[in-house]
Amino acid sequence: MDPFTAAWEEAEASVPASVDMFATLEFQHPAFLDDDDHPMAIRVVADTPDDQLFTIEDGADFNGGEVALFRAINFRAEHPEFAEGKMPELAVTVDNVSREMVPHLEKAVKIKADLIVLFRMYRSDDRTEPCYGPVQFVMRKVRVTGTSVTGVAQLDDLHNSKFPRRVYTVTEFRSLLQ
Q: For residue 138, what are the β-bridge partners?
A: 116, 154
The DSSP output letter for 3 is S
What does the alpha-carbon distance between residue 136 and residue 155 come to, in Å, rounded to a whole number? Answer: 6
Q: What is the per-residue pLDDT across 90-132, written as a single tens digit (0 to 9) for each?
A: 888 888 876 777 778 778 877 888 889 999 999 999 999 998 8
**Sequential DSSP letters for 138-163:** EEEEEEEETTEEEEEEEE--STT--S
Give yes or no for a contact between 136 and 117, defined as CB atoms under 8 angstroms apart.
yes
**Reduced to 3 states, what is the DSSP secondary structure of residue 18?**
coil
Q: What is the per-residue pLDDT across 138-175, written as a single tens digit (0 to 9) for each?
A: 888 888 887 888 888 887 655 555 555 566 666 777 77
**Sequential DSSP letters for 63-120:** TTTSEEEEEE--EEEPPPEEETTEEEEEEEEE-S-TTTTHHHHHHHTTS---EEEEEE
Residues 6+ apart with CB under 8 A from 12: 21
Q: What is the mean pLDDT of residues 20-34?
A: 90
Residue 88, φ and ψ in degrees, nearest 5: -60, 135
Distance of CA 170 to the CA centre of its chain: 35
Residue 161, φ and ψ in degrees, nearest 5: -70, 145
Give yes or no for a contact between 80 and 89, defined as CB atoms under 8 angstroms apart.
yes
Kindly list the domain boundaries of the chain, sorted by start residue. 6-177
What does the alpha-carbon distance between residue 139 and residue 129 come to, in Å, rounded to a whole number? Answer: 24
Q: What percent of the chain has pLDDT over 70?
A: 78
pTM, rounded to two decimals: 0.76
